[in-house]
Amino acid sequence: MDYQVETAGAELSPSQIAAQLACANVLTVFIHLIDDNRSLELVELFAEDGVMEAVPHTFSGRTQIREFLASRAGGAPTRRTLHALSNSVFRHVSEREVHCTSVMTVFAFDASQPRADLTPDSLCKLEDRFVRDTDGAWRFAHHRRSFIVQAA
């Protein structure tokens, strides 16, 4: 995403503030659903023709996204994650489109163990394009996660 230095710090209109808060909420709900082992529910956060990239894989449309998430469900029953989102930068493209780039730190651990090594499992870059859907809700049009670095 091109950072707009010339507009950094500029006041946002009420509609831009509302859009940014809605998009930030979509991101937060997204990571909470994953951490709560409810990832199948996150499909509803995507527009019907939304795209989810978990580099190097790409899933287009809610059906493909749902199939991918279902294939992963129950794979490691005691594996738990905690995703920490930071450094989000938003760019308002139009009244119906917002782009966001964020950094996500992922901690993974075995919930069956009383102690865990909480060294980050990975550091990721998120590149998101949100659209205001026909029902007025903001949803992912395109969500892209790529690894900056992964634990050895």
> What is the tens place of the pLDDT at every residue in 24-77?
999 999 999 999 989 999 999 999 999 999 989 999 999 999 999 988 876 777
- Determine the Cα–Cα distance for residues 135 and 123; give it in Å rounded to an integer: 34
Candidates 139, 20, 142; CA nearest to 90 is 20
Domain-wise residue ranges, the chain = 14-150
- Determine the Cα–Cα distance for residues 52 and 7; give it in Å rounded to an integer: 29
Per DSSP, the three-state class of 151 is: coil
> What is the tens place of the pLDDT at every residue in 91-137?
999 999 999 999 999 999 888 988 887 889 999 999 999 999 999 99
pTM of the model: 0.91
Q: Is the dihedral of CA 11, 125, 31, 60 positive or negative?
A: positive
CATH of domain 14-150: 3.10.450.50
Strands 57-60 and 79-94, by their bridges, are unpaired
Structural tokens at position 65: 């996204």
